[in-house]
Copies of this chain bind each other. A is one copy, B any other.
């Protein structure tokens, strides 16, 4: 592997001139520049990233911190979504000449967090978080060392943390309102994940606010904690119909849950949307596939904005108030909620 020294020697200039030519950090005579670039080409020279990083104090990597791939949340309950996110991030990273370091935490909580290690060792210049809940241990440490990071699909109200997310409260409020407008009174709610996920909390509050604004008290029998499985949607239905207070509509937490609901309905000979109206979140391929009304959560846009924000943080000198960017999103009305005609679930 050739070094900057080799290039300098071969081109008959000093190493600083080569460096200036490569980085544009000082004017170099066109003639000289040409000679240098020819030599670089000929020697297949590529600056050593470690050497460069050592002096610039930049790794040119940004870390993306995701849940452990073993954990089912990693799939985000629909394919394509993670690809969308990566693309959104990758586009801006690529522009800036940055690479993406993918990391998740060790299963054992004994060792220090991988994130902190990456930050402290200078392996990454900033971090993008895609975790559903709040890990204060990590956050506090990052804030303390003033390390740049942005949360995606999650936000903090009690700590100065930058984030990009949709407005889950509003989204859920609209979903419930849509069903209320269609005349439903007994509307059930399935959380997208465990209750300690911020998204679960926000969505529940949006849902219950909508009901309350319509003078309907949320019924705890019509509440179910879901997860990212089809089965949880199915089980939610079992739960609701065993509770004695059968719902006429459901706000599901994820498209995949809605599919479970559809299955339950089909088995019981219930018609969607006549007997049960369904509204969900994600607006994924599943929603299209099964003709489910669903509220979009565009991960491409979220990733894109989060990355842009992170780069601002990385290059910023002076402190600044953290921002919580809200990505506009909307309800995609399909057959499952009864306001438009319903297609076959297999179409």
Using CB atoms and an 8 Å cutoff, list the residues of chain A in contact with chain B: 1, 44-54, 59, 61, 64, 68-70, 74-80, 82-84, 86-87, 90, 94, 99-104, 106, 116-118, 120-123, 145, 230, 259, 262-263, 266-267, 289, 344-347
Of B49, B69, B94, B346, the contact of A122 (CB 8 Å cutoff): B49
Copies in the complex: 2
A102 to B104, CA, bound (A): 13
Asked if B48 contacts A54 (CB within 8 A), the reply is yes
B49 and A59 within 8 A (CB)? yes
15 contacts between A and B (CB under 8 A): A1-B120, A1-B122, A46-B116, A46-B117, A49-B121, A49-B122, A50-B54, A69-B83, A76-B79, A78-B79, A94-B106, A100-B102, A100-B103, A230-B289, A267-B347
A99 interface neighbour in B51, B74, B79, B101, Cβ under 8 Å: B101
Decide: B84 and A49 in contact? CB cutoff 8 A: no
- Taken together as a complex, chains A and B put the C-alpha atoms of A47 and B262 apart, in Å, by 54
**Across the interface, which residues of B come within 8 angstroms of A78, CB to CB?**
79
Does A80 contact B87, Cβ atoms closer than 8 Å?
no
Bound together, the chains give a CA A126 to CA B205 distance in angstroms of 48
CB distance from A105 to the nearest CB of B (A): 10
A45 to B230, CA, bound (A): 45
Contact of A121 with B59 in the complex, beta carbons under 8 Å = no
A61, A116, A267 — which one has the most chain B CB atoms within 10 A of its CB?
Answer: A61
Q: Could you tell me the distance in whole angstroms from the C-beta of A11 to the nearest C-beta in chain B?
A: 18
Contacts of A83 in B (CB 8 A): 69, 74-75, 82
Asked if residues A123 and B49 are in contact (CB atoms below 8 Å), the reply is: yes
Determine which of B99, B118, B145 lies in contact with A123 in the assembled complex, contact meaning CB atoms within 8 Å: B99
Extra A-B contacts (15), CB below 8 Å, given A46-B116, A49-B123, A266-B346? A45-B120, A49-B121, A49-B122, A51-B54, A69-B83, A74-B83, A75-B79, A76-B79, A77-B79, A82-B82, A99-B102, A99-B123, A102-B102, A259-B346, A345-B346
CA distance A128 to B56 in the complex (A): 28
Query: Chain B contacts of A103 at CB under 8 A?
Result: 99-100
Nearest B residue to A262, CB-CB: B346
**Contact partners of A122 in chain B: CB under 8 A:** 1, 48-50
